[in-house]
Amino acid sequence: MSDTLTLSAETRERVGKGASRALRREGRVPAVIYGNKQEPVSIHLEEKALVKMLNTGHFMNSVVMIEGADKAAIRTLPKDVTFDVVTERPVHVDFLRIAKNASVTVNVPVNFVDEDEAPGIKKGGVLNIVRHDLELVVDADKIPEAIEISLKGLEVGDTVHISSVTLPSGAVPAIEDRDFTIATVVAPSALKSQEGEEDTVAADEVPAGEQADGEAEAESGEEEAKGE
């Protein structure tokens, strides 16, 4: 189960682009807390403390207690972090206010184990991962850090569906209308065939006129090269 994290924050007196830029120059990150039928609260956080939590790898599926922005700590779940496209520094965070024992929807990473006990992989098969995480509805106090899926006994051609995965007590898939695929064990040749089909489809999607133009340009380039 993911640990509950704690962040210190201060209420933002001013909002807007100018105020946000000023905060970032001071090493602070603007953020907002919303939800649970209450008014949004604009806050700012210390960038260093936020980055440290982001580096844990499970910030987005952990309960975060925001302290200092209200009389009591505010129980939240991170919903979105915006990063600067150039510096990759966090520039804004959205937190969802949640009640104790509330059900929340989170993306939980998948860990595949027992690969050495999968006959299909031993024979040269390749694990083709379709989903690296699972969208689950869970109790906010019982968010798992990861879902472990055993590959024991899988042969080439076998598929791991969500129905074959044992989820923690109280957790259910957010997708309920189908038994979706998480991973398959495929033969290397089948994997290459799939990649080849994708390349063919991509080429077929190019309009005939553009293909002809491309061929003409290539021929023209060859003639110019010969002339040189």
The pLDDT, as a whole number, for residue 192 is 54
Q: Looking at residue 121, which CATH number applies to its domain?
A: 2.170.120.20
User: What is the pLDDT confidence band of residue 71, given thresholds at 50, 70 and 90?
Assistant: confident
Checking if the pLDDT of 161 tops 90, the result is: yes
48 and 121 belong to one structural domain: no
Coil, helix or strand at residue 85: coil
Joined tokens for residue 109: 């990473």
The answer to whether the beta carbons of residues 53 and 65 sit under 8 Å apart is no
Nearest Cα neighbor of 76 from 136, 36, 39 is 36
Q: Model-level pTM?
A: 0.70
Joined tokens for residue 52: 């440290």
140 and 179 belong to one structural domain: yes
Rounded distance, CA 43 to CA 19, Å?
Answer: 12
**At CB < 8 A and 24+ separation, what contacts does 209-215 make?**
none
22-49 tens-digit pLDDT: 899 999 999 999 998 899 999 999 999 9
- Residue 209's domain comprises 193-227
- List the end-to-end C-alpha distance of the chain, in Å, as a whole number: 68
Domain boundary among 73, 99, 125: 99
